[in-house]
Chains A and B, each alone.
Chain A
């Protein structure tokens, strides 16, 4: 089923086995010439903060992908953002070394060629798309699972919002849910592989939340379904997360999903993150006074 979500618990720090297990379960296509993996480097925050893509997880992801696609061209992509410069971050976080180790490339999207694409978006009718996303056979969104002070959760859908050409993406924050949906219409990812090993919780997210070791890898073909499951881990019904609901309405995926996991129901219950809803709604109220 397309909307199956796979959640693998990383046991005894065996990250490699867990990653291979996840990729075996997800139905990745057999023949692929080029792969683009959208990682998350939202700020100058190291792996232990849970804010940015973990080089150790990327290492295992590339290693597992290389076993399936030994000759494919792989790009680790990220774009410049309001407070993030992708070129420096690739080096600062040690992503360049990992990419080299697996014969992959790092690509700052702001240096790529962009083409215009028409979309039936909620706000945008045209959007600029980097050619790497248009040309790659397989696009994987590889987000961190984090809470977000505005959208409640940031995961696969929100990660693709990072591909928007505009550097000062903060200006889209007034209509963030809609902008996230539109960016996913333009930059369609085929798979979502969520790094929920070291996550972030609390309302300080997505950059300054509290690190939380959840020890999970989550994946699936349906980006909306994967996000919906992740929303539940944070304690929200997917319908109450604006961008997930709107993405489902735009038929980017389904909010219902079938979960396949190596965890027992009791173990799954322990994988809950703390968000502090009261603090979120109070902060939202205060923002109105600003």
Chain B
């Protein structure tokens, strides 16, 4: 039996992580840890976890863990990961791994020295449309990637946990809203060469960056277009891969995977694609599997991570595999800073 300690009893732990542990065999959450004891107690009752700790050092000291699941806000991840590594405990950590490349490198280096397996929850890589697109790419069916356009629009930040409202702490638009889509781009295209252009909007009334559009050139020659918007009219997640052989269009909420053909008009196959998509969704609703369906990508990642621990293999999303995304995020953040200071200089004459 694999023993898990979970740190951070917020929304993601309640909605995704703890329900998945309940459904998996051969794994049990032995203790919860949160500064807010009331919240930890509520979740311990709901998910049948026997022990509660108020701080991480107590958790590492008192429990014998096979891995720790870190579900706290992003700005705490570096400290908690380093503490787990010092205690020789394997780590499953929510994204972002850290808020800088230096911190991510530190975690990577220390974990290798201590022989700790670190897996980052970039579960979108396991979502069906993106996994299918990646398989096609690996099989050479897409050809060479020429361009990726990715759009993510989210609604109000105020429906998210309150720590996210402070941009200085959360680095919201890049490290919270855009992290999945940036990771997917870097997963497909590899290392970036330069950020060709960037546009941002800072809302002074909200004291928050609400829009970011960027054009990125990758070393592979591919061009990535990134469009991130908060406070949008509707939630959007589009990720389109344009290759030399074919183009793939993917979408979330609900999921959609579509391979372009040479002809632009093909109503019959399109009808069946849409019908299949609707029936799949309806089946999940009617069989009351909607909640399971919402977290299936995390479930896949978790199962693979547990297998990696049992078989002493590499975790499904190791730190090295996300470093391209971490570098891109950091460069985007720098570029936003440079752009804004240049604009401020212009304004001040």
Interface residues in chain A, defined as those with a beta carbon under 8 Å from any beta carbon in chain B: 43-44, 49, 82-85, 88, 91-92, 208, 286, 289-290
Contacts and interface: CB of A to CB of B under 8 A. Distances in A.
Contacts of B159: 82-83
Given A44-B231, A83-B158, A92 B206 contact: yes
B45 interface: no
Contacts of A85: 158
Interface stretch (B242-250, B285-293, B322-330, B337-345): B285-293
B233 interface: yes
B205 interface: yes
Nearest to A51: B233
Contacts of B234: 208
Contacts of A84: 158
Interface in B153-206: 155-156, 158-159, 203, 205-206
B205 A49 contact: no
A88 B158 CA distance: 10
A54 B314 CA distance: 56
B156 A44 contact: yes
B205 A91 contact: yes
Contact of B285 (A43, A82, A88, A286): A286
B132 to A, nearest CB: 27
Nearest to B156: A44
A49 to B, nearest CB: 7
Interface in B290-336: 290-291
B285 A83 contact: no
Q: Which of A82, A85, A92, A289 has the most CB of B within 10 A?
A: A289
A88 B290 contact: no
Closest 3 CB pairs of A and B: A44-B156, A83-B159, A91-B205
A85 B288 CA distance: 34
B288 A88 contact: no
Contacts of A83: 156, 158-159
A202 to B, nearest CB: 12
Contacts of A208: 233-234
B205 A289 contact: no
A289 B286 CA distance: 6
Contact of A289 (B156, B158, B233, B288): B288
B83 to A, nearest CB: 33
Contacts of B156: 43-44, 83
A46 to B, nearest CB: 9
A83 B161 CA distance: 10
A43 B156 CA distance: 8
B231 A289 contact: no
Interface in B100-150: none
A83 B159 CA distance: 5
A84 B159 CA distance: 8
A44 B165 CA distance: 13
B254 to A, nearest CB: 13
Interface centre among A84, A88, A286 (most CB of B within 10 A): A88
A44 B158 contact: yes
A43 B158 CA distance: 9
5 contacts: A43-B156, A44-B156, A44-B206, A85-B158, A91-B205
A49 B205 CA distance: 19
Which of A44, A49, A82, A88 lies at the interface centre, i.e. has the most chain B CB atoms within 10 A of its CB? A44
Nearest to A287: B285
B274 to A, nearest CB: 17
A88 to B, nearest CB: 7
B233 to A, nearest CB: 7
B211 to A, nearest CB: 14
Nearest to A88: B206
A289 B290 contact: yes
A49 B232 CA distance: 11
A270 B121 CA distance: 53
Contact of B290 (A82, A92, A290): A290
A151 B203 CA distance: 34
A110 to B, nearest CB: 14
A188 B290 CA distance: 41
B158 A92 contact: no
B151 to A, nearest CB: 18
A286 B286 CA distance: 8
Nearest to A82: B159
A92 B205 contact: yes
A82 B161 CA distance: 11
A289 B285 contact: yes
Contacts of B231: 44
A91 B285 CA distance: 40
A43 B234 CA distance: 13
Given A44-B231, A92-B206, A289-B286, 13 more contacts: A44-B155, A82-B159, A88-B158, A88-B206, A92-B203, A92-B205, A208-B233, A208-B234, A286-B285, A289-B288, A289-B290, A290-B285, A290-B288
**Residue of B158, B290, B291 with highest tally of chain A CB at under 10 A:** B158
Contacts of A92: 203, 205-206
Nearest to A92: B205
Nearest to B210: A44
A248 to B, nearest CB: 34
A194 B68 CA distance: 54
A208 B233 CA distance: 7
A84 B288 CA distance: 30
Nearest to B203: A92
Contacts of B206: 44, 88, 92
Contacts of B155: 43-44
Contacts of B203: 92
Contacts of B286: 289
B96 to A, nearest CB: 24
Contacts of B285: 286, 289-290
Contacts of A43: 155-156
A55 B285 CA distance: 41
